[in-house]
Amino acid sequence: MKDLLGLTGLGINLPITDPTWIFFLVLVIILFAPIIMGKLRIPHIIGMILAGVVVGEYGFNILERDSSFELFGKVGLLYIMFLAGLEMDMDDFKKNQTKGLVFGFWTFVIPMALGIVTSMWLLGYSLVTSVLLASMYASHTLIAYPIISRYGLARIRSVSITIGGTAVTVLLALAVLAVIGGMYKEETVGSLYWVLLVVKVLALGALIIIGMPRLCRWFFRKYDDSVMQFVFVLSMVFLGAGLMELVGMEGILGAFMAGLVINRYVPHVSPLMNRLEFVGNALFIPYFLIGVGMIIDVRCLFTEGEALKVAVVMTVVATISKWLAAWITQKSFKMRKSECSLIFGLSNAQAAATLAAVLIGHEIILPSGERLLNDDVLNGTVVMILFTCIISSVVTERAAKRIVAEEHDGETDTDKKKNDKENFMISVANPETIEGLVNMALTIKHPKQKKELVALSVINDNNTSEAKEMMSKRNLEKTSIIASAADTSVRTVLRYDMNIAQGIIHTARENDITDIIIGLHRKTNILDSFFGTMTENLLSGTHRQVMIAKFLVPVNTLRRIVVAVPKQAEFEAGFSKWVVQMCRMGKILGCRVYFYATEQTLAYLKRIIDREGANTFSMYSVLEDWDDLLLLTGQMAYDHLFVIVSARKGSMSYQPSFDQLPGQISKYFSNNSLLMIYPDRWGDPEEIISFSEPRRAVGPTAYDTVINNLYKWFKKE
């Protein structure tokens, strides 16, 4: 079919070579394959692969697998491995690293053993050929990983175990490939070649693990442009992959390591993460899947009997061996059946390292003139890739649905009420602090919380102007853009009120806000207070949790969270809420949370963290006296977040020494990022009005001053 439309005079030849039409057809496949597959209840990934079969050389020959498919296909492959490392829950990974190693061991050993036996016994291949063929069964590619991301399961235990095992088995499989490939290289000189290979791989791994985090931390602090950050992260991915290829290993390992290293600098709920996932899932990964389908020759199954036999043996052995590895892992650690299915589904697909192994083995010519891996193995491999990808996608989709249903059924009514009750409002005034406040809100809100954020800008009726109104609208628009980039909806509110504090309080009541986030007040003159009149009036006018934040570094570059907790803080109404939120923030940012409190309060802290399953690396130290707060200056660094849990006057945990906090913070903690938390308290001030406590702005009284002086005098004594 040289001229498909010769009768019409358009002169469209097949395969199409014009870049414009190639890209258009690929986009059409990416657009319609999920729609068609969705109606048939088939995973979208299968649609991409089958579409590649149809339009490829062995189908209707509409598109040629040219350099564009090789380029974008390799980028997509590296992207899959990068996202697997980037989205991994590092806390869960560290806790389950032993399970991951065990699964990696079984998913390598079982396919190797079955592969060698069946290749020599059923197919009659030599030992070297059988070992290389078995290593192809041992490796696997996380083709179905986009399904996991779509269902929001990237951070569960079974996924972490599978990804950890993937790194182990791919590394060992590529080592087998390197050894066999090196046996037939002319430059291989005895054991020195292998020693140098191991040394280079270890040195490169150390360079990526040690050097790349420092480079990321420096860049993210210096540059906050979203495009620059996106390009920088991609450059780190391909730098890691390229360096790994330079030392003789596959680039997928370098991309995976880069994802692990950059993990803590790209929070799971952040604009940068959303951009990375969007670009990969919209273009690069589908391009790779279509390219995989284009190399599959289905006709060989019906034209060559030996190729059919090899394809059947390879597909059956690869599938059975991966299922056995997942089943043994499930029984070893008493996991659920749905977790076993998920592990098997993720680990069954063969593509990346398998393709590398078969192509390298096919190019090796033995002294007898035969190829190490003949044409039957090459054709059998591409058929195995097709069927294992289909099995992987179907099993993963079903297992993911089952796990989501189990989690939904296991969620108690109390948990659902907690999730539904969380509603954040951000008061925006200074455009320089908006990004930090939004990013903090994204890290502390519940991941299943679907309620929109409320962004508020209040204009004082007594000091209104067109310039102030325009500035407020720009601030709200900027807030909406930042949150939308993280796939989070925001409702903006521009309000006119007699004073800013009352505007915030009234908006919070109207929208049933549970958490109010504001930036730290900037002193305008020497007589101005540390928090400002607005903040003091806000604290006295609402019983909801108020968080006052100041960030000197981007939120994603924080390395530690230090929380100072006063005595009797456990008796406050909002104690559990802020504890879980701080642990949630540490989990998403990948940093430790250090709690300093009295022994009694620490016991409550540990109990809540264990009960709520906060799942973070928390450290506990005793802070006997609140006046010893200054001792924490030795524990703080520039990239640490200092969290001070305070209380309103009249609360159980309120102490007279709280009045000294502004001076202490200004003098000793001015070079640290700061977050002050005023937890929920019992009783709404709007509903509690009495003769003994009329509604007014809370300020220091003569009584308070006398008490403070007596307290200081006895303290000195």
Instruction: Strands of 85-187 (E only): list them.
Output: none
pLDDT score, position 5: 45
Q: How far is 630 from 432, CA to CA, in rounded Å? A: 29
Determine contact, residues 144/401, Cβ cutoff 8 Å: no
Residues 492 and 555 in one domain: no
Tell me the pLDDT tens digit for each residue of 351-364. Answer: 766 766 776 777 77
> Confidence class of residue 708 from pLDDT cuts 50, 70 and 90?
low
> Confidence class of residue 691 from pLDDT cuts 50, 70 and 90?
very low
**Considering 387, 410, 433, which residue would you say is the last residue of a domain?**
410
- Report CA 448 to chain centroid distance, whole Å: 15
Tell me the pLDDT tens digit for each residue of 533-547. Answer: 777 888 888 888 999
Among 154-168, 314-328, 545-559, the least confident range: 154-168
Q: Specify the length of the chain in residues.
A: 717
Determine the structural domain holding residue 438 and report its residue range: 422-519
In a domain, 244, yes or no: yes
Of residues 465 and 63, more confidence is placed in: 63
- Reduce the DSSP state of residue 156 to 3 states and report it: coil
Tell me the pLDDT tens digit for each residue of 28-42. Answer: 998 888 888 777 766
Q: What is the mean predicted confidence (pLDDT) over 686-704?
A: 45
pLDDT above 60 for 7 = no
Of residues 404 and 192, more confidence is placed in: 404
Residues 343 and 445 in one domain: no
Radius of gyration of the chain (CA): 30
Interior/surface letters 371-403, b for 16+ CB within 10 angstroms, e for the rest: bbbbebbbbbbbbbbbbbbbbbbbbbbebbebb
> Confidence class of residue 232 from pLDDT cuts 50, 70 and 90?
very high
pLDDT above 60 for 625 = yes
Residues 572 and 449 in one domain: no
**Considering 410, 438, 453, which residue would you say is the last residue of a domain?**
410
Determine contact, residues 115/320, Cβ cutoff 8 Å: no
In a domain, 642, yes or no: yes
Cis-peptide into 566, omega within 30 deg: no
The tokens 């079974």 sit on which residue? 158
Determine contact, residues 589/558, Cβ cutoff 8 Å: yes
Residues 237 and 105 in one domain: yes
- In the chain, the amino acid numbered 137 is Y
Q: Give the HSE-up count for residue 560: Cα atoms under 13 Å, Cβ half-sphere.
A: 13
pLDDT score, position 8: 46
Query: Residue 109 maps to which CATH number?
Result: 1.20.1530.20
pLDDT score, position 647: 87
pLDDT above 90 for 408 = no
Q: How far is 232 from 214, CA to CA, in rounded Å? A: 13
pLDDT above 80 for 511 = yes
In a domain, 7, yes or no: no
Residues 474 and 368 in one domain: no
pLDDT score, position 530: 54
Residues 388 and 427 in one domain: no
pLDDT above 50 for 230 = yes
In a domain, 9, yes or no: no
In a domain, 524, yes or no: no
pLDDT score, position 236: 92
Query: Residue 588 maps to which CATH number?
Result: 3.40.50.620
If we measure between CA atoms, which residue out of 529, 708, 706, 530 comes closest to residue 627?
708
Quote the number of domains for the chain.
3
Which helix (H) or strand (E) is 349 found in, with range? Answer: none
Residues 347 and 456 in one domain: no
pLDDT score, position 254: 83
Q: What percent of the chain has pLDDT over 70?
A: 83
Determine contact, residues 194/179, Cβ cutoff 8 Å: yes
Q: Find the DSSP H helices in 613-686.
A: 661-668
SS3 content of the chain, % helix, strand, coil (to 5): 65, 10, 25
> Confidence class of residue 690 from pLDDT cuts 50, 70 and 90?
very low
Q: In what order do the strands lie in the sheet with 560-564?
A: 490-497, 453-460, 424-427, 515-519, 545-550, 673-678, 640-645, 560-564, 592-597, 618-622
pLDDT score, position 413: 47
| 359-373, 556-570, 606-620 — most confident range | 556-570
Q: How many CB atoms lie within 10 A of CB 519?
A: 20
Among 201-210, 463-472, 506-515, 675-684, the least confident range: 463-472
pLDDT score, position 699: 44
Determine contact, residues 594/635, Cβ cutoff 8 Å: yes
Q: What is the mean predicted confidence (pLDDT) over 568-584?
A: 88
Beta carbons within 8 Å of 476's beta carbon, 6+ residues apart: 428, 455, 457, 492, 493, 494
Residues 402 and 426 in one domain: no
Q: How far is 323 from 73, CA to CA, in rounded Å? A: 28
Q: How far is 318 from 136, CA to CA, in rounded Å? A: 9
- Reduce the DSSP state of residue 519 to 3 states and report it: strand
Residues 390 and 451 in one domain: no
Residues 610 and 488 in one domain: no
Residues 232 and 359 in one domain: yes
If we measure between CA atoms, which residue out of 472, 264, 251, 445 comes closest to residue 355?
251
- Reduce the DSSP state of residue 677 to 3 states and report it: strand
Q: How many CB atoms lie within 10 A of CB 624?
A: 11
Q: How far is 591 from 605, CA to CA, in rounded Å? A: 18
pLDDT above 90 for 71 = no
Name the phi and psi angles at 491, rounded to 5: -105, 120
Determine contact, residues 135/112, Cβ cutoff 8 Å: yes
Tell me the pLDDT tens digit for each residue of 154-209. Answer: 778 888 888 888 878 877 887 787 777 667 665 554 567 677 777 888 888 888 88
Name the phi and psi angles at 673, rounded to 5: -65, 140
Of residues 635 and 457, more confidence is placed in: 457
pLDDT score, position 251: 78
Residues 456 and 588 in one domain: no
Across the chain, what does the average pLDDT equal? 80
CA dihedral 445, 448, 449, 451 (to 10 degrees): 140
